[in-house]
Structure 1
Amino acid sequence: MKYKVLLTSIALLILFFNGVQLPEANAQTTEFVYGDPLPDAPKLSARGKYKVGVQTINLVNKGQVDILNTKEGKDPLYDRPITIEVWYPANVNPQEKTVVYNEVMGTANDSLRPLTPFTFKGRAYRNAKPLTDQGNYPLIVVSHGYVGSRYLMTYLTENLASKGYIVAAIDHTDSTFKDANAFQSTLLNRPKDIRFVIDQMVELGSKGSKSKLQNLVDANNIGIIGYSMGGYGVLNVAGAGYSDALAGFFTGMTGGSTAIAVNTAKNEEYKKLTDERIKAVVAFAPWGMERGVWDAEGLTGLKKPTFFIAGSQDDISGYENGIKAIYEGAVNADRYLLTYQNARHNVAPNPPPAEALAPGLHIDEYYRYAEPSWDQRKLNNVNQHFVTAFLGQHLKNEDNSKYLELQENSNEKDWTGFKPRSSTGMELLHARPAN
């Protein structure tokens, strides 16, 4: 028996001297919630000091082009409904309970993938009172993929709010699980929705708005985050004008509508849309480069600091000729490219819900979230870490350079902020603006 004790003690010492952290005796375990840190989570992935409130806000963008009903090049107008979810630092009473989000799998009007309701827990508090004695907070606007929803990245939206941001995630009409419609609506409306929500959030957060968010939004410090088609949208809002090739394709698919022309690089009206309030951009797996959405001229218009995140095997947006080509072509932006080796397209979402594991369910419900070569919870933690570092640098004047200025190959040496042996399988590129 004494030899077993001795061997156990030696083993523990070896683990200790190799930097492995051991669990505390009688440590209490809790249910895992999306965004919670794994044992090897990097430093900045931890939640911040604030409790988080969350509320749903229904907006209407009046007088928009009804592209789904265009006929013979004539664009009717309609009032476009947009729902957003907003997370914010909050005062929370002890008796309040954390939120349960209501979501669906599947796709509207798809008989092979019917809508399937499910719920999942968060660590925010529904309609909690905002924390008003800490000044105002930078604004983050988040745009999901096609199809998706405002709840697709709660691991990140809750996390950022806990660090002192107001975070608004959009349900893009005609592009969610519940209302997916023809693709031309997504092509046209992504950047328009993002701009509209920025303006609405600034208005709601201004003095005298009488909303819960009044006096809480720092209108001069805004970040935008997009995934897939959301990436397509945020890059355009940030200055990467679309190509004439996209405009021509759009006109052909809509029977003559030229409505998307306002977002093309050569359009003088597009150049007037530059928003100086936007200080930082995060683009997860942005879609479009392989389809001719951008050309060299359009990408030179991106001048905002931008953090790209991609999988080296992305089979939706493409990598070498897709996301990496955008990164390389955005020569006037201070930009990073974080690449997860062997990952495909799903580098941004929450982990798959338990319901996605049900027998007989279409495998694409699982692969709408999951990565084949990575633990999604690990990806979430790494995303939290780098997005926190990048946004903190540009929106809060934090010096996070030690977490961003790293050797390119994570296999060569442990990256700063990562626990020993935990930063393998990644690459981080950094290019400064040419001008």
Structure 2
Amino acid sequence: MQSSVRLVRVLLMTLFVGAALSGQAQENKDSFVFGDPLPDAPELAARGTSKVGVRTLKLTHPGQMDVLHAKDGKTPLYDRPLTVEIWYPARIPAGKAEFTQYDEVMGVANDPKRPLIPYTFAGRALRDAEPEPGQGAYPLVIVSHGYPGSRLMFTYLTENLASKGYVVVSIDHTESTYRDAAAFPSTLLNRALDELFVLNEMDRLSKKDSKSFLAGLLDANNTALVGYSMGGYGVLNATGAGYSEQAGKLFGQMASGSTALQVRSTGAPEYKASQDSRIKAVVAFAPWGMERGVWDANGLAGLTRPTLFVAGSKDDVSGYEKGIKAIYDGAVNADRYMLTYVNARHNVAPNPPPTESLKPGLPFGEYMRYAEPAWNERRINNINQHFVTAFLGIHLKGLDYGKYFDLKENDADGPWTGFKPRTSVGLEMRHAKP
């Protein structure tokens, strides 16, 4: 009798816990995720009509220069692993929710003051969903994070673009992520090389005989690069801004005399040969390097693709007047825009601070890795969604979105096109043609 009672209690408890977990899952999938529009979000911030799938893919770039083990000017080779996260228009089966949890960490590898702390956050995408074929192959967007950083830093933007008919691939740059951050020379050398390799891999995997879920799904000949901070440094180099002689000297000082960076320098035959016509547009959030002499006038003159720069006027990492704005001014052969968040510092691209970063006792840096002192990060995210949607819509899809850039430098003469009244305050937009 007692065993029967215990069995009934166990069954009832199982049903209760199951119902609670089911309710929690329902609550999670319907709750706010990064990138959802605020009431004051500009017009193009809202999600598109496509549902979104997400997958993780492991890649290997063979025979790369291992600058972290350079010695006496000699640089060995290694097979460089890269993990990418891919968002794409997807079919969501009946009974399935467009919901996922991303696995992330706070902290920095090899820093005892900031130990790695795993956490999760919600996303609006279905893991491993079947792709939704378009009327043609979708444009490709490749995203590159800062140092250190993560392929998951920009889910507000990557999910949003996938819902608008793009295949979006965000890279974990080996030796440059929170989990494996290593010495800086690896980041200096590998950013553009990683981005171009991922472009080649996406091209290969999109072939109809590849047996990949990407087969026929994307058009690598219609690609944009998006980079933040060191990612911005990389996407500019990948698209024509060759590094200066001073950059090569700085690299050699940090990498035991290695000359590996020369292959990405202005005038190098290898660099000229790497210029890729498949890349049609560039978005550079707070690109690093100008204040350190990474580029000179000759290098910046090599930028010829349409480019959208995004900056904070108080950026204390990449610099503004002598940093990001100087790159914008020096890119004399590109049709370029620069969106400035007045009084923002460096964090003009990432997700908002995760709730875990608010816990007492954590290092202040875990919150400030994402937060902007003078701005609401969710508002920045919505504005970024709006302008990146417009910019890529023009250059990758041929959409008539020019009105969203036909703006006064600020809103002194009235609100900007696409913005609700009183909500474009604190923004500046510059435009310069070749």
Q: TM (normalized to structure 1)? A: 0.92
Amino acid at match of 2:63: G
For 1:83, the equivalent position in structure 2 comes to 83
SS where residue 233 of structure 2 aligns?
helix
For 2:172, the equivalent position in structure 1 comes to 171
SS where residue 374 of structure 2 aligns?
coil
What does the per-residue CA deviation read over 1:305-330, in whole Å, with 9 as the maximum and x for residues that have no partner?
00000000000000000000000000
For 2:40, the equivalent position in structure 1 comes to 40
Q: Using the alignment, how far apart are the partners of 1:159 and 1:106 within structure 2?
A: 27
Q: Using the alignment, how far apart are the partners of 1:71 and 1:301 within structure 2?
A: 32
For 2:60, the equivalent position in structure 1 comes to 60
| Residue pairs, 1:19-418, within 5 angstroms | 31-97=31-97, 98-418=99-419
Shift of 1:206: 1.5
Runs of 5+ unmatched residues, structure 1:
1-28
Amino acid at match of 2:424: S
What does the per-residue CA deviation read over 1:69-104, in whole Å, with 9 as the maximum and x for residues that have no partner?
111111111100000000000011122231100000
Runs of 5+ unmatched residues, structure 2:
1-28
Contact 1:411-1:426 at 8 Å conserved across structures: no
SS where residue 100 of structure 1 aligns?
strand
Q: Using the alignment, how far apart are the partners of 1:254 and 1:403 within structure 2?
A: 44
Q: Using the alignment, how far apart are the partners of 1:184 and 1:336 within structure 2?
A: 30
Amino acid at match of 1:271: K
Amino acid at match of 2:346: H
For 1:23, the equivalent position in structure 2 comes to none
SS where residue 274 of structure 2 aligns?
coil
Amino acid at match of 2:313: S
Shift of 1:156: 0.2
Shift of 1:283: 0.2
Amino acid at match of 2:304: K
SS where residue 165 of structure 2 aligns?
coil
Shift of 1:235: 0.2
Q: Using the alignment, how far apart are the partners of 2:134 and 2:268 within structure 1?
A: 44
For the aligned residues, what is the CA RMSD?
1.0
Q: Using the alignment, how far apart are the partners of 1:275 and 1:209 within structure 2?
A: 22
What does the per-residue CA deviation read over 1:372-418, in whole Å, with 9 as the maximum and x for residues that have no partner?
00000000000000000000000000111110110011243100001
Q: Using the alignment, how far apart are the partners of 1:373 and 1:385 within structure 2?
A: 20
Contact 1:243-1:265 at 8 Å conserved across structures: yes
Contact 1:411-1:425 at 8 Å conserved across structures: no
Contact 1:411-1:423 at 8 Å conserved across structures: no
Shift of 1:133: 4.6
Moved more, 201-210 or 224-233: 201-210
SS where residue 339 of structure 1 aligns?
strand
Q: 1:114 to 1:278 in 2, by over 3 A?
A: same
Q: Using the alignment, how far apart are the partners of 1:346 and 1:94 within structure 2?
A: 39
SS where residue 393 of structure 1 aligns?
helix
For 1:8, the equivalent position in structure 2 comes to none
Shift of 1:30: 5.1
SS where residue 204 of structure 2 aligns?
helix
Query: How many pairs are equivalent?
Result: 405
Q: Using the alignment, how far apart are the partners of 1:412 and 1:164 within structure 2?
A: 34
Q: Using the alignment, how far apart are the partners of 1:402 and 1:79 within structure 2?
A: 46
Contact 1:240-1:302 at 8 Å conserved across structures: yes
Shift of 1:266: 2.1
Q: Using the alignment, how far apart are the partners of 2:75 and 2:30 within structure 1?
A: 54
Q: Using the alignment, how far apart are the partners of 2:220 and 2:82 within structure 1?
A: 21
SS where residue 197 of structure 1 aligns?
helix
For 2:8, the equivalent position in structure 1 comes to none
Amino acid at match of 2:246: A
Q: Using the alignment, how far apart are the partners of 2:142 and 2:157 within structure 1?
A: 12
Contact 1:87-1:161 at 8 Å conserved across structures: yes
Taking only the aligned residue pairs, the percentage that are identical comes to 63
Amino acid at match of 2:33: V
SS where residue 124 of structure 2 aligns?
strand
What does the per-residue CA deviation read over 1:22-74, in whole Å, with 9 as the maximum and x for residues that have no partner?
xxxxxxx9522100000010000010010000000000000111111111111
SS where residue 411 of structure 2 aligns?
coil
SS where residue 142 of structure 1 aligns?
strand
For 1:25, the equivalent position in structure 2 comes to none
Contact 1:153-1:349 at 8 Å conserved across structures: yes
Q: Using the alignment, how far apart are the partners of 2:136 and 2:207 within structure 1?
A: 12
Q: Using the alignment, how far apart are the partners of 1:112 and 1:398 within structure 2?
A: 49
Contact 2:134-2:217 at 8 Å conserved across structures: no
Q: Using the alignment, how far apart are the partners of 1:129 and 1:174 within structure 2?
A: 32
Q: Using the alignment, how far apart are the partners of 1:246 and 1:74 within structure 2?
A: 18
